[in-house]
């Protein structure tokens, strides 16, 4: 009995260490924010300790490389709510390492993509909308009277919800992952989870393509013909989806990443100079 | 002036790392940044006053004649410093700060574009088994470069005066600024395509287009699409996996409900 207790305590301590890791690393997720894949390296940094732990054995190096590369994919989520995705992904990685035969690694990427959209939508509007306006509205009132409490209060009001959401996000993400995934996996229901995550993930990416690539064309002839209006009558957001499909095609053709990046940057500048595209 | 320029540059670093390393706790907001500037320059009251004015502009609660600068975090540090050092009003100081914020914005675009090359590097490191180098790209190099991108414009404009920064900004041709902005909007298309290349199959492709079309035509937000998507997925799941359910008496239906 007492042995069980000490064991439980040790597990609890170990889990707490993991939660803190997810916590701080979720906050640090934007340190290498880049246009191409945004917070992907931040997510890799967050999950790296988990991967290092499960693939400690030198003979697992190929699995470790595959896992590291899996988390290089595009990722973008509010840092505070991202801890949930990080905790869940970490527990999925652990499951995968335990049952490599009947756990599809792609389900991890699918779950990540399906969660980042809704969690950043809710997270951004809560933290950058509600909390910020409330905190600084109050802060301004104090500051205008020359009271130092203004900025201090504003910071505290922002800190408390951010702290709570990140901490419980990490904890719930990890424990939910552990409890439900084991159950689902043993019941052979992972296919269904994969399917649901795939549908949600793809629809979210589709929506992101339509809302996060602000490109239009300024091409026109005289004042009557504007190409963008004509395109809009065919289908709005034709340029963003066309570009994405073009990039997809380049990837399928196995074009070198360096070339694609060069096409994006030089092509973007040229298209702007020639008056074809505008952001 | 050297001492002041360094201290203000360090405040710039604190402000930019707030969103890079601490999940945006809003230390970058003008009220906080300006108060920090006030403390550093020994005039807290002025820092608070200027901060309150800049914060109102930043939150969009007050419209001023001059448009808010593209990078308000950087702009407000410079504006607060000028206002305290020269006694100018917050609004005037903000107008002076605009060229610096423009320069900062341009630096930010170039930086975020350049960091796309980290992805290529990270993949190479992972292939070579240098896992630590791959994560260091993020935590070490990413943070350092972001810190430098704030320190330099602030240091230069305080130490040499805004005149120099204004000249630099005037030298940068308009076509390059516009071109970089377009290029920065093209790059995410590649990021999305990469993500699709791991998830898209003939069977699953319609879902991508459904999500795209709904937002394109009806302007529904990503969160809205996600909520619809969850419902559609659950309905489809019930249709597709119905057979399995009836054959195995108490199948996985319940376990999904508890999710």
Chain B contact set for A277 (CB, 8 A): 182, 186
Within a domain: A126: yes
Q: Computed over its alpha carbons, how large is the radius of gyration of chain A?
A: 23
DSSP A193-245: HHHHHHHHHHHHHHHHHHHH---B---EETTTEEHHHHHHHH-TTHHHHHHHH
- The answer to whether B26 and B32 have CB atoms below 8 angstroms apart is yes
Return the closest-CA partner of residue B78 out of B165, B190, B198, B177. Answer: B165
Q: Mean pLDDT, to the nearest integer, of B202-212?
A: 92
Residues A44 and A115 in one domain: yes
Q: Which residue has the higher pLDDT, A195 or A81?
A: A81
Does the pLDDT of residue B252 top 50, yes or no? no
Do residues A193 and A242 both lie within one domain? no
Question: Which tokens go with A274?
Answer: 């020639």
User: Quick one: A204 and A229 in the same domain?
Assistant: no
Closest approach of B166 to chain A, Cα-based (Å): 23
Q: Of A184, A211, A238, which marks where a domain is finished?
A: A211
Is A241 domain-assigned?
Answer: yes
Residues 6 or more apart from A56 whose CB is under 8 A from it?
Answer: none
Domain identity same for A203 and A226: no
pLDDT of residue B60: 65
Structure tokens at B164: 């120099």
- Does some domain include residue A279? no
More confident residue, B252 or A20: A20
Q: Two tokens at B150?
A: 């704030």
Query: B interface mutation test: which of A244, A259, A267, A278 has the most B CBs within 10 A?
Result: A244
pLDDT in tens, A64-123: 999 999 999 999 999 999 999 999 999 999 989 988 887 888 888 888 988 887 788 788
Taking each helix axis as running N to C, give the angle between helix A61-70 and helix A40-54, from 0 to 180 degrees, rounded to the nearest 10.
160
CB pairs under 8 A between A and B: 395
Q: Within 10 Å of residue B14's Cβ, how many Cβ atoms? A: 17
Backbone angles phi, psi at A76, to 5 degrees: -155, 120
B35 touches B47 (CB < 8 A) = yes
pLDDT of residue B181: 85
Q: Which of A69-73, A190-194, B14-18 has the lowest mean pLDDT?
A: A190-194
pLDDT digits (tens, 9 = 90+) for A132-190: 888 998 899 899 889 999 999 999 999 999 999 999 999 999 998 878 777 777 776 77
DSSP string of B89-144? -HHHHHHHHHHHHHHHHHHHHHHHHHTTHHHHHHHHHHHTT-HHHHHHIIIIIIHH
Per-residue pLDDT reduced to its tens digit, B151-198 = 998 999 889 887 777 777 788 788 888 888 888 888 889 888 988 887
Token pair of A213, please? 């690539």
Q: CB B192 to CB A205 under 8 A?
A: yes
**Is it the case that residue A17 has pLDDT exceeding 90?**
yes
Confidence of residue B247 (pLDDT cuts 50, 70, 90): very low
Could you tell me if B186 lies within 8 Å of chain A, comparing CB atoms? yes
Q: What is the mean pLDDT of chain B?
A: 84
Count how many Cα atoms sit within 13 Å of the Cα of residue B50 in the half-sphere of its side chain.
33
Distance from CA of residue B154 to its chain's centroid? 19
Same domain, A66 and A109: yes
Q: Best residue in B16, B33, B118, B135 to probe A by mutation, most A CBs within 10 Å? A: B135
Which pLDDT tens digit goes with each residue over A197-251? 888 889 988 998 998 888 999 988 887 888 888 888 888 999 999 999 999 999 9
Q: Of A211, A229, A246, which closes a domain?
A: A211
With H, G, I as helix, E, B as strand and everything else as coil, classify residue A20.
helix
Range of the domain at A269: 214-273
3-state SS, residue A108? helix
Q: Cα–chain-centroid distance for residue A45?
A: 13
Determine, for residues A202 and B119 on separate chains, whether the beta-carbon distance falls below 8 Å.
no
CA–CA separation, A118 vs A78, rounded Å? 10
| A52 and A32 share one domain | yes
Q: Is the CB of residue B32 less than 8 Å away from at least one CB of chain A?
A: yes
Query: For A162, which of B23, B180, B192 is closest by C-beta distance?
Result: B23
Identify whether residues A43 and A58 lie together within a single domain: yes
C-alpha to C-alpha distance for A36 and A251, rounded to whole angstroms: 14
Of the pLDDT bands very low, low, confident and very high (cuts 50, 70, 90), residue B65 is very low
pLDDT reading at A10 higher than 70: yes
How much is the pLDDT for A88?
95
Q: What is the pLDDT of residue B1?
A: 81
- Distance from chain centroid for Cα B244: 46
Do residues A168 and A223 both lie within one domain?
no
Name the one residue in this structure whose structure tokens are 């807290």.
B44
- Mark whether A191 and A219 lie in a shared domain: no
Supply the pLDDT for residue A181: 73
CB B150 within 8 A of CB B105: no
């Amino acid at each position: 009995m007492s042995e069980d207790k000490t064991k439980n305590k040790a597990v609890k301590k170990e889990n707490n260490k993991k939660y803190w890791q997810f916590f701080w690393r979720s906050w640090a997720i934007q340190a290498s924010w880049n246009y191409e894949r945004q917070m992907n390296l931040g997510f890799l940094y967050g999950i790296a300790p988990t991967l290092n732990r499960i693939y400690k054995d030198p003979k697992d190096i190929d699995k470790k490389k595959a896992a590291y590369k899996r988390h290089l994919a595009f990722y973008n989520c509010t840092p505070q709510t991202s801890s949930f995705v990080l905790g869940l992904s970490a527990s999925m990685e652990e499951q995968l390492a335990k049952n490599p035969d009947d756990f599809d690694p792609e389900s991890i990427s699918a779950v990540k993509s399906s969660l980042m959209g809704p969690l950043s939508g809710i997270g951004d509007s809560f933290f950058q909308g509600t909390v910020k306006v409330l905190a600084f509205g109050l802060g301004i009132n104090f500051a205008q009277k020359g009271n130092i409490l203004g900025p201090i209060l504003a910071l505290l009001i922002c800190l408390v919800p951010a702290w709570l959401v990140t901490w419980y996000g990490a904890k719930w993400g990890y424990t939910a992952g552990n409890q439900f995934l084991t159950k689902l996996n043993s019941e052979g229901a992972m296919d269904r989870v994969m399917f649901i995550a795939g549908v949600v993930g793809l629809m979210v990416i589709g929506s992101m393509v339509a809302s996060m690539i602000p490109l239009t064309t300024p091409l026109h002839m005289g004042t009557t013909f504007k190409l963008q209006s004509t395109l809009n009558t065919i289908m709005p957001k034709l340029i963003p989806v066309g570009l994405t499909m073009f990039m997809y095609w380049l990837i399928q053709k196995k074009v070198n990443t360096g070339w694609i990046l060069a096409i994006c940057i030089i092509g973007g500048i040229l298209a702007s100079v020639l008056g074809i595209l505008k952001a | 002036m050297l001492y002041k320029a360094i201290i203000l540059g360090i405040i710039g670093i604190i402000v930019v790392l707030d969103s890079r390393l601490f999940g945006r706790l809003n230390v970058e907001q003008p009220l906080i940044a300006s108060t920090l500037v006030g403390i550093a320059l020994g005039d807290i009251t002025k820092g608070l006053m200027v901060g309150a004015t800049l914060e109102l502009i930043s939150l969009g609660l007050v419209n001023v004649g001059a448009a808010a600068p593209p990078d308000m975090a950087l702009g407000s540090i410079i504006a607060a410093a000028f206002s305290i050092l020269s006694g100018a009003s917050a609004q005037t100081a903000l107008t002076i700060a605009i060229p610096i914020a423009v320069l900062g914005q341009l630096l930010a675009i170039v930086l975020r574009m350049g960091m796309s090359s980290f992805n290529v590097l990270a993949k190479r490191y992972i292939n070579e088994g240098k896992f630590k180098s791959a994560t260091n790209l993020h935590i070490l190099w990413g943070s350092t470069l972001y810190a430098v991108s704030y320190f330099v414009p602030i240091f230069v404009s305080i130490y040499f005066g805004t005149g120099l920064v204004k000249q630099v900004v005037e030298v940068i041709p308009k076509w390059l600024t516009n071109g970089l902005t377009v290029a920065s909007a093209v790059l995410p298309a590649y990021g999305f395509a990469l993500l699709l290349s791991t998830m898209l199959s003939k069977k699953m492709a319609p879902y991508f287009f459904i999500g795209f079309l709904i937002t394109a035509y009806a302007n529904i937000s990503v969160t809205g699409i996600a909520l619809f998507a969850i419902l559609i997925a659950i309905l489809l799941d019930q249709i597709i996996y119905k057979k399995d359910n009836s054959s195995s008496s108490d199948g996985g239906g319940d376990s999904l409900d508890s999710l």
